[in-house]
Structure 1
Amino acid sequence: MSVKTRFAPSPTGYLHVGGARTALYCYLHAKKTSGDFVLRIEDTDRERSTDESVQAILDGMEWLGLSHDEGPYYQTKRFDRYAVVKEHLLAEGKAYPCFCSKERLDALREEQMQNKQNIGYDGHCRNLTVQEQDLSQPHVIRFKNPLDGVVTFDDLIKGEISVSNAELDDLIIARTDGTPTYNFTVVVDDLDMKITHVIRGDDHVNNTPRQINMIEAIGGQRPLFAHVPMILGDDGKRLSKRHGAVSVMQYRDDGYLPQALLNYLVRLGWSHGDQEIFSLEDMVHLFALEDVNRAPSAFNTEKLNWLNQQYMKSLPATEVVNHLEWHLEQQKINTDGGVAVELLIPEMAERVKTLKELASAIRYFYEDYQEFDPNAAKKHLRPVARQPLELAKEKLVEAADWSAETLHQIVSDTASELELGMGKVGMPLRVAITGAGMSPDLGITLEWIGKEAVLRRIDKALDFITKREASS
């Protein structure tokens, strides 16, 4: 059997991490079996669907690198097809018009709640004769669900699930204005698109028996189902914005690499031994639906941060730079004429967790800092640092060779000449040229910042010390 999966989000908001994980699982299962991955936009909710949400979904999928083989399909462009299937069900007596008013349905629901009965439609219009049906009156179309028997399906993650038809009511498949409803369009689409595996969140488990009955009424072959448990916050509560349930593109904005987010998402409910780092190729090779946990998973930002740093350190520097450039633009950091950004990646990735932090951390290589880090300046730009800085500056002015090795030797010679430890020279110099107390190897840092900027910044540090002496 040729495998075909689909990711079918509703464009009523952004693509969030739960949806992204579902998309990833759909993608991996299709690719593992050399099958096809379909993207379908379920936009029948006209009041809540927006073009902005559609674009947010497309942008998120593109950024994650989850390319689809078919689509994107849009349900609003398939209304003619749904109408044909609806008429077919009506003609075969498998669907019927319902004329019940909102007031009657509200009263029915209230009565059922008071009597602690299952909430659902009572079949009031189910057996109306043709003569009793006045189609000129407002009405919906309901699917005639079987009254007896049991719907059983073998969920690839949750195992066997059985639901009595007596617990299911007659769902609306077309609204009063004729527009089709979610459960109906999903069934028609999955059949028409020959979807073999429906992989989705377990909030859809209750829909599955209803959809199976519709599939069989239409005469189609049911796909296999796999319902993925939800993602919880690290406090055990439903994932919310404060836990990280934000747009996938917000993770881009916050400085995460798509490779790191994919790696993190695949591990939210699935594992392969003790392995932590998975390339997309690894995931395709190793992923199996039957290995997905049945229990919910907890989102952990600390783990995501750790993974992101691992990818910043391990990916080719040029690839990291491709993603870093967006953050440099956002922070208005112009790298023209400065050290090649890819040279900084191996030196700086150890010091930061995100690309956003990385962009901020390398700013001093390209422009003068505005002010000193208060703690670093208080500790290292004291009056006692004046002499080491002045002597180091003299030697740096005379340096004909501006290489890391030569510059490191100048710092060492300055310390020897003043009979000081390297830290007594190196740390004031580091704060002077970077504005803070952390940087790569001092020789490399001096080389990459450049002679003109280094000398200018040492003067700034000496001026700071002078003002500090005057105020004391």
Structure 2
Amino acid sequence: MTVVTRFAPSPTGFLHIGSARTALFNYLFARKNNGKFLLRIEDTDKERSTQEAMQAILESLKWLGLDYDDEVVYQSAREARHQEVAYSLVEAGKAYFCFSSQEEIAVLRAEAMAKKQHFIFNSPWRNADVAQYPTGVKPVVRLKAPREGVTVVKDLLQGDVVVQNCQLDDMVMLRSDGSPTYMLAVVVDDHDMGITHIIRGDDHLSNAHRQQILYEALGYKVPAMVHIPLIHGPDGAKLSKRHGALGTESYKEMGYLPEALCNYLLRLGWSHGDDEIISRDQAIKWFSIDGLGKSAARLDFHKMKSLNAHYLRQKNDSELAEIVINMIEEDRKISAVSKGNILKAMASLKPRTELLIDLKQMALMYVVDFPLSITAEARQIILNTDDNLLMQVRETLTGLGNFSKDVIQEKLKELAELANMKLGELMHFIRAFIAGDVKSPSVFEMIEILGLEHSLNRLKK
């Protein structure tokens, strides 16, 4: 059997971080078993689905490196197939036309609630004769669910999940306008796409029993199901907007590397011994259902940043410089000189940051095409700097024959001794001029990289 998994998002918004983890697990399981990972866009909600959301999902998957096989399946294009299946069940006596209105059902539900009873709608049309059908009323199509016994979902993670059939209603498969419901479409599409394993959030577990009944009514083989616990916020509550970023693109904008985010999501509900840093190749080799946990995982932004910092330090300088330069040039273009400066500085910049957005901010210290951004603290130091001492620094740098960081450090140390200062005191104000901040990488290295002309230009009030 060839393993076939799928990721089936609804294009009604961003790619949720929990959905990204679901996609990752499906991708890894398929690749581990030399199978296929398919993508289906569930765009049957015409009012809420947007082209922008659809594009955002595709771009997020590409950014995460979760490449899918074959063409994208768009659920909305398969409506005729869904209708065909529903009507075939009616012909087989396994489904029926229901003419009960929403208002009638609402009255019955209210009566049950008043009596504090669990409400199950038992349609009077379940076994009605065709001669009884009213004219001028568009019916829905309902599945004839079993009224007795139990339905058991054999979940590979949760174990056997049992539901009494008397608690399940005759679900609607086609609405009165002929459009398919999610419950019908997902079963038909999974069957037609040859899906062998369904890995999804455990919020879908309540759907699994109804879907299994539909699979059996159609004579389809039920895919293996794995319902994974949802991701919770740091406080243990269900993940929501108050916990911060929810969409994958938000993490990209915040400065996370895709490999770091995937590593973090992988460990959020799955483990391989005590391994924390796991490459994509290792993840494919090691991933298994047995490694999944049964309890909800909690987001830990501190741990996520720490993991990102590791991947930043491991990344090739030239590749990282290119990423940072592209981020800078989203706002304005910079010269070849500035790009060269950033590349030279990257080795000392990357250990000082956790996020790309911070790395970009620090890299701006090496851009010579527009005025240096100066913090309020640095500005105060600059305004209070002794003009005579500033002139001596400029003269010291101008007189250097060898413009290397070691020589720069040696000569500035001599200047500090002549001025009866500690080197740290002297560097305190030089850093404000050169970096525009009170914190920076080595000022000696910055001066070396910027060169004499640009360093002198900065050493002015």
Normalised TM-score (structure 1)? 0.92
Instruction: Please give the alpha-carbon distance, in whole angstroms, between the structure 1 residues aligned to 2:328 and 2:266.
Output: 29
Aligned AA (1:72): V
Q: Distance in 1 between matches of 2:189 and 2:428?
A: 66
**Structure 1 counterpart SS, 2:210:** helix
**What is the alpha-carbon distance in structure 1 between the residues aligned to residue 249 and residue 13 of structure 2?**
12
In the superposition, relative to structure 1, how do residues 335 and 157 fare at CA in structure 2: closer, same or farther (>3 Å)?
A: farther
Change (3 A) 1:12 1:135: farther
The answer for the alignment partner of 1:373 in structure 2 is 375
1:121 is displaced (CA, Å) by: 2.0
- Tell me how far 1:403 sits from its aligned partner: 2.6
Whether the 8 Å contact between 2:151 and 2:162 is mirrored in structure 1 is yes
2:438 matched to 1:452? no
1:381·1:431 contact (CA, 8 Å) conserved in 2?
A: no
Residue 272 of structure 1 is matched in structure 2 by: 272
Displacement after TM superposition at 1:369 (Å): 4.8
Paired residues of 1:389 and 1:425 also in contact (CA < 8 A): no
Is the CA contact (8 Å cut-off) linking 2:145 and 2:169 kept in structure 1? yes
Alignment of 1:297-316 (within 5 A): 297-316=297-316
Structure 2 equivalent of residue 253 of structure 1 = 253
Aligned to 1:401: 402
Structure 1 counterpart of 2:347, one-letter code: P
What corresponds to 1:436 in structure 2?
Answer: 437
Matches of 1:214 and 1:318 in 2, distance apart?
A: 54
Structure 1 residue matching 2:408: 3-state secondary structure: helix
Shift of 1:420: 3.3
Alignment match, 1:161? 161
RMSD over aligned CA atoms reads 1.9
Q: Is the 8 A contact 2:96 2:143 kept in 1?
A: yes
Tell me which residue corresponds to 2:12.
12
Structure 2 SS opposite 1:40: strand
The answer (yes or no) to whether the contact 2:381–2:432 under 8 Å persists in 1 is: no
Counterparts of 1:351 and 1:47 in 2: how far apart (Å)?
47
Task: Look up the match of 2:124.
Answer: 124
CA contact (8 A) 2:272 2:286 kept: yes
What are the ranges of 5 or more consecutive residues in structure 2 without an aligned counterpart?
Answer: none
| Whole-Å separation in 2 of the counterparts to 1:392 and 1:386 | 10
Letter in 1 for 2:167: E
Q: Does 1:341 align with 2:342?
A: yes
Alignment check: 8 A CA contact 1:388 1:415 kept: no
Q: Is the 8 A contact 1:389 1:428 kept in 2?
A: no
Residue 101 of structure 1 and its aligned partner are, at CA, apart by 0.9
**What residue identity is the alignment partner of 1:255?**
G
Q: Supply the AA of the counterpart residue of 2:104.
A: R
Q: Is the CA contact (8 Å cut-off) linking 1:16 and 1:245 kept in structure 2?
A: no
Amino acid at match of 1:453: H
Change in Cα spacing, 1:170 to 1:323, as seen in structure 2 (3 Å) is farther
**Kept after mapping to 2: 8 A contact 1:331/1:360:** no
Output one character per residue of 1:10-46: Cα deviation in whole Å (capped at 9) or x when no partner.
1111111011011011111111111110000011111
The 1-side partners of 2:246 and 2:71 are apart by 25
Does the 8 Å CA contact 1:392/1:410 hold for their aligned counterparts? no
Letter aligned with residue 324 of structure 2: L
Offset at residue 178 of structure 1 (A) = 0.4
Contact 1:369 1:435 in 2 (8 A): no
Segment drifting more, 267-276 vs 132-141: 132-141
C-alpha change, 1:129 and 1:31, in structure 2 (3 Å) is same
Aligned residue for 1:70, secondary structure, equals coil
- For residues 373 and 49 of structure 2, the distance between their equivalents in structure 1, rounded to whole angstroms, comes to 48
- Classify the secondary structure of the residue corresponding to 2:276: coil
- The question of whether the paired residues in 2 share the 8 Å contact of 1:8 and 1:39 is answered with yes
Any idea what the Cα deviations from partners look like across 1:133-164, whole Å, max 9, x if unmatched? 24642110011111112111221221211111
Task: Look up the equivalent residue of 1:95 and give its one-letter code.
Answer: A
Q: Is the 8 A contact 2:29 2:287 kept in 1?
A: yes
Aligned mates of 2:304, 2:282 — CA distance in 1: 18
Alpha-carbon distance in structure 1 between the residues aligned to 2:289 and 2:371: 51
Gap change, CA 1:279 and 1:333, over 3 Å in 2:
farther
Cα 1:181/1:119, change in 2 over 3 Å: same
Q: CA deviation at 1:126?
A: 0.5
8 Å CA contact 2:341, 2:367 repeated in 1? no
Q: Structure 1 residues 421 and 118 mapped into 2: Cα distance closer, same or farther (>3 Å)?
A: same
Give the number of aligned pairs.
Answer: 459
Q: 1:45 matched to which residue of 2? A: 45
* Larger displacement relative to structure 2 (361-370 or 5-14): 361-370
Equivalent residue of 1:459, what SS? coil
Say whether the 8 Å CA contact 2:216–2:222 is kept in structure 1.
yes
Does 2:415 correspond to 1:414? yes
Q: Output one character per residue of 1:206-251: Cα deviation in whole Å (capped at 9) or x when no partner.
A: 1001101101111110000001111111112211122134221121
Equivalent in the alignment of 1:111: 111
CA contact (8 A) 2:173 2:183 kept: yes
**How far 1:451 moved relative to its partner?**
1.4
Q: Is the 8 A contact 1:380 1:427 kept in 2?
A: no
AA matched with 1:19: S
- Aligned-partner residue type, residue 217 of structure 1: A
2:241 match: secondary structure: coil
| Cα distance, 1:333–1:52 mapped onto 2, change above 3 Å | same
SS at match of 2:416: helix
Q: Percent identity?
A: 38
SS state at 2:39 partner: strand
Residues 388 and 245 of structure 1: is their aligned pair in 2 closer, same or farther, counting only changes over 3 Å?
closer
Letter of the 1:373 partner, please give it. T
Inter-partner Cα distance in structure 2 for 1:148 and 1:88? 24
Displacement after TM superposition at 1:295 (Å): 0.9
Return closer, same or farther for 1:322/1:119 CA change in 2, 3 Å cut-off: farther
SS in 2 for 1:426: helix
Q: Is the 8 A contact 2:341 2:366 kept in 1?
A: no
Secondary structure of 1:71 counterpart: coil
Deviation at 1:285, TM superposition (A): 1.5
More off after superposition, 399-408 vs 75-84: 399-408
Query: Shift of the alpha carbon at 1:49?
Result: 1.1
How far 1:371 moved relative to its partner? 5.7
- Displacement of 1:331: 4.2
Alignment check: 8 A CA contact 1:333 1:366 kept: no
TM-score normalised by length of structure 2: 0.94
- Greater alpha carbon shift after TM alignment, 333-342 vs 372-381: 372-381
Matches within 5 A, 1:22-101: 22-101=22-101
